[in-house]
């Protein structure tokens, strides 16, 4: 038993972690189910008043909560930015999926070449690729915006997808090249003896062996895109192209958002993320670990 924590301490630490991770989620759920006047009142609660789904109805249908129809009510605190959340979730998913697919299409072959072949300029191009994320994103906003403006891609989904792909690509190449390096060279030598071309070696040998790692890296690219804010904010001009990171920032910063509506927006926005984490995170970790112990 030496070196193990006392069970009570373990439970206490676990409870603390749960409090800081699950607590905000539960609070946002609670805040979304009661109007502000109940949320802020010391005498009333969800138990005395019951849950209220009017803000959810407003987000999805645009129908105003009944409290806004009453005397002495104005619409100062009912922000329609909250109504952009469902559409923004769809946009974010499109960007993240597209960035993930493009990253794998472009990044996996590049990583394989960097890992298994020698060619002029290999070292410098690899260094350039993996060091490029060290440039602060804010320094790149203006040149990238101007470049996309020149190409007519500002305000388009394609523009955001391209930038998100470029943002995640260095990580994809770096992580996958590490995995490809760990595959024993004898396997590739055997493939060459069997007259496999370079592409066949990559497609038939390397890729299947690295599949868990490829999937994990793709999900990593997905998450980078899903949470990216700065370029999405600059490049998306309206609700048709706006991802959830930008909409949530607007909701949190605007003055015309009631707490109830803000919490509703937060909860709607985090539910898909929670689902993703529960079902997919295990594969990410397993994928990364499988590469770590290989060879």
Partner 1 sequence: MQIRKLLAAAAVALGLAAQPALAQNLTLEFVVWNYSLETIQDNVRLFEEANPGIKVNITDYAWPDYHDSLILRIRSKTPTDVVYGGQDWLPAWAAAGFIAPLDSVAPAGAIEELSADIAGFALTDVTYDGKVYGLPYYSDTISFIYNKKILKDAGIAVPATWEEVTAAAEQLKAGGMDKPIIYEYNQELPNFYDAFVAQSYGRGAELFDAELNPLFADPENGAYKQLEWIADAYAKGLVQSDNHESTIITAMNTGKHAFTIVFTYVLAALNDAATQPLAGQFALAPMPGEKHSTLGFAKSYVVTATTAADPVRAEAAWKFVNFMAGKPYTVAKRWAVEKGLGFAQLPLFEDQDVITAWGKWADVGALGAQASIAKAGTYTEFSSIWSAYFRPLLAQAMVGEAPVDRVMKDGAQRWTELKEKFASR
Q: Return residues touching partner 1 (CB under 8 A).
A: 35-38, 40-41, 65, 67-68, 70-81, 83, 141-142, 145-146, 149, 154-155, 233-234, 237-239, 246, 249-250, 253-260
* Phi, psi angles (nearest 5°) of residue 243: -85, 170
DSSP state of 3: T
- Which CB sits closer to partner 1, 28 or 103? 28
Handedness of CA 236, 241, 243, 247 (dihedral sign): positive
Burial class (CB in 10 A: 0-12, 13-18, 19+), 84: buried
Helices 7-33, 259-293: inter-axial angle, 10-degree rounding: 140
State in angstroms the smallest separation of the CB of 223 from partner 1: 22
Phi, psi values for residue 166, rounded to 5°: -65, -35
Tell me the closest approach of the beta carbon of residue 227 to partner 1, in angstroms.
16
Minimum CB separation of residue 64 from partner 1 in Å reads 9
Using CA atoms, how far residue 42 sits from 25, 36, 45, 79, 241, in Å, is: 21, 12, 8, 25, 41
> Between 83 and 103, whose beta carbon lies closer to partner 1?
83
CB of 143 to partner 1, least distance (A): 10
In the complex, the smallest distance separating the C-beta of residue 255 from partner 1, rounded to whole angstroms, is 5
> Token pair of 175, please?
């992580």
| Contact (Cβ atoms closer than 8 angstroms) between residue 227 and residue 18 | no
What is the smallest separation between the CB atom of 53 and partner 1, expressed in angstroms? 16
* Residue 66 vs 194, nearer CB to partner 1: 66
Min separation Cβ 244 and partner 1, Å: 13
Q: From the CB of 215, what's the least distance to partner 1, in Å?
A: 35
Q: Can you tell me which residue has the tokens 């060619």?
A: 119
Cα(246)–Cα(257) distance, rounded to whole angstroms? 15
Kindly tell me which of 34 and 129 has the beta carbon lying closer to partner 1. 34
CB 225 within 8 Å of CB 168? yes
C-alpha distances out from residue 39 to 29, 32, 175, Å: 12, 9, 46
> Closer to partner 1 at the Cβ: 37 or 123?
37
Contacts of residue 209, defined as CB under 8 A and 6 or more positions apart, other chains included, come to 183, 187
């Amino acid at each position: 038993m030496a070196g193990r924590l006392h069970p009570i301490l373990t439970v206490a630490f676990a409870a603390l972690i749960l409090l800081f991770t699950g607590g905000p989620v539960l609070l946002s759920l609670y805040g979304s189910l009661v109007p502000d006047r109940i949320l802020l009142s010391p005498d009333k609660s969800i138990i005395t008043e019951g849950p209220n789904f009017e803000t959810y109805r407003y987000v999805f249908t645009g129908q105003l909560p009944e409290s806004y129809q009453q005397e002495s009510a104005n619409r100062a605190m009912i922000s329609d930015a909250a109504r952009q959340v469902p559409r923004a979730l769809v946009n974010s998913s499109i960007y993240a999926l597209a960035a993930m697919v493009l990253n794998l299409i472009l990044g996996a072959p590049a990583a394989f070449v960097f890992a298994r072949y020698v060619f002029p300029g290999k070292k410098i191009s690899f260094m350039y690729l993996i060091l490029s994320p060290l440039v602060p994103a804010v320094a790149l906003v203006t040149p990238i915006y101007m470049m996309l403006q020149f190409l007519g891609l500002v305000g388009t989904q394609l523009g955001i997808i391209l930038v998100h792909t470029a943002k995640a690509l260095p990580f994809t190449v770096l992580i996958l090249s590490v995995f490809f390096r760990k595959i024993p060279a004898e396997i590739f030598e055997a493939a060459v003896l069997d007259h496999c071309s370079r592409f066949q070696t990559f497609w038939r040998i390397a890729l299947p062996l690295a599949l868990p790692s490829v999937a994990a890296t793709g999900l990593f690219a997905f998450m980078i895109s899903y949470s990216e804010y700065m370029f999405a904010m600059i490049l998306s001009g309206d609700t048709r192209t706006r991802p959830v990171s930008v909409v949530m920032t607007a909701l949190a910063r605007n003055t015309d958002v009631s707490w109830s509506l803000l919490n509703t927006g937060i909860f709607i926005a985090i539910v898909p993320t929670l689902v993703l984490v529960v079902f997919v995170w295990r594969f990410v970790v397993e994928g990364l670990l499988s590469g770590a112990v290989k060879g």
